Amino acid sequence: MDEASTIAVGHVIRGCLTKMAVEPGRGNAPAHYTLRAGTQRLDLNACLGRPLRLSWSGAIACTHCGRATRKSFGQGYCYPCFKRLAQCDTCIVKPELCHYYEGTCREPEWGERHCFQPHVVYLANASGLKVGITRATQVPTRWLDQGAVQALPVLAVESRQQAGFVEVLFKETVSDRTNWRAMLKGEVAPLDLAAERDRLLARLDSGLANLRERFGHEAIRILDERAVSLAYPVLEYPRKIVSHNFDKHPEVSGMLHGVKGQYLILDSGVINLRKFTGYEVEVAA
């Protein structure tokens, strides 16, 4: 198929996995998830409470160049692409290490398109308070991918590097990590994110002032937005987390109890589909 097609429940789809597509629900409705395998699509919300089977063929294709690879690097890349692409460089995980101005960016044009764009520094609650950054265009997708139940944009900045410097300040006080097990168990107490924002901004005022002096006052702006709540299509959260891994067991099956973050929640265990980007699978629903 040349174009993506959505397959109804009761059919089989085949192809290489990519990150699940997710859209926020309207009002209090849960987010809507679509599994993507090659050019074929499966509506996961429609599969809730039904049997689901995923079988890995043993093949892996690089998500960038398409070549076959025996091992996936950086969630979906062959080793040459992993070493060559800017999107696989260390500065993507640690933006404060951006080396564009040193003339050593792997792909300067890619960096200009993706890194030199407006970014948002946010607080979220996925398994407790955390700080994160994302391109402004990725709100609220980034929060849904992390399984956050609450999120609040705090600062707007002009580039990914600036977002990284701000995040470093916040990490002196708050984590940038999600406890994925707690997130998947649904053990997340609500937080007053506005109060947490005010507390952190007051504590980090001098550090933010230094960054504004370096980059310009308008480069780092405090946002006045309300926290948002996010819901997920989950019928039942697991009491104990058992994690599936295609590399150890190529077939995963069970009743689909929910989808949260980039995880499928089955009665037999959970699986992070994003981890297996590029894996060729057959999915029967």
Same domain, 19 and 57: yes
Say whether pTM exceeds 0.75: yes
Same domain, 127 and 209: yes
Same domain, 125 and 197: yes
Same domain, 179 and 222: yes
Q: What is the pLDDT of residues 242-277, one digit of tens each?
A: 999 999 999 999 999 999 999 999 999 999 999 999
Same domain, 91 and 61: no
Q: What is the pLDDT of residues 158-212, one digit of tens each?
A: 999 999 999 999 999 999 999 999 999 998 999 999 999 999 999 999 999 999 9
Same domain, 180 and 202: yes
Same domain, 172 and 241: no
pLDDT tier at 117 (50, 70, 90 boundaries)?
A: very high
Range of the domain at 208: 119-229
Same domain, 192 and 224: yes
Query: What's the rounded Cα separation, in Å, for the pair 100 and 253?
Result: 45
In the chain, the percentage of residues whose pLDDT exceeds 70 is 96
Same domain, 90 and 184: no
Predicted local distance difference test score (pLDDT) of residue 2: 39
pLDDT tier at 11 (50, 70, 90 boundaries)?
A: confident
Query: What's the rounded Cα separation, in Å, for the pair 275 and 180?
Result: 13
**Looking up tokens 């058992």, which residue turns up?**
242
**Torsion sign, CA atoms 173, 176, 182, 183:** positive
Q: What is the pLDDT of residues 22-53, one digit of tens each?
A: 999 988 899 999 999 999 999 999 999 999 99
Same domain, 100 and 152: no
The total number of structural domains that make up the chain? 3
Query: What's the rounded Cα separation, in Å, for the pair 127 and 146?
Result: 10
- Which residues contact residue 113 at a Cβ distance below 8 angstroms, ignoring those fewer than 6 apart? none
Same domain, 136 and 213: yes
Which of 229, 244, 264 is the C-terminal boundary of a domain? 229
Same domain, 262 and 182: no
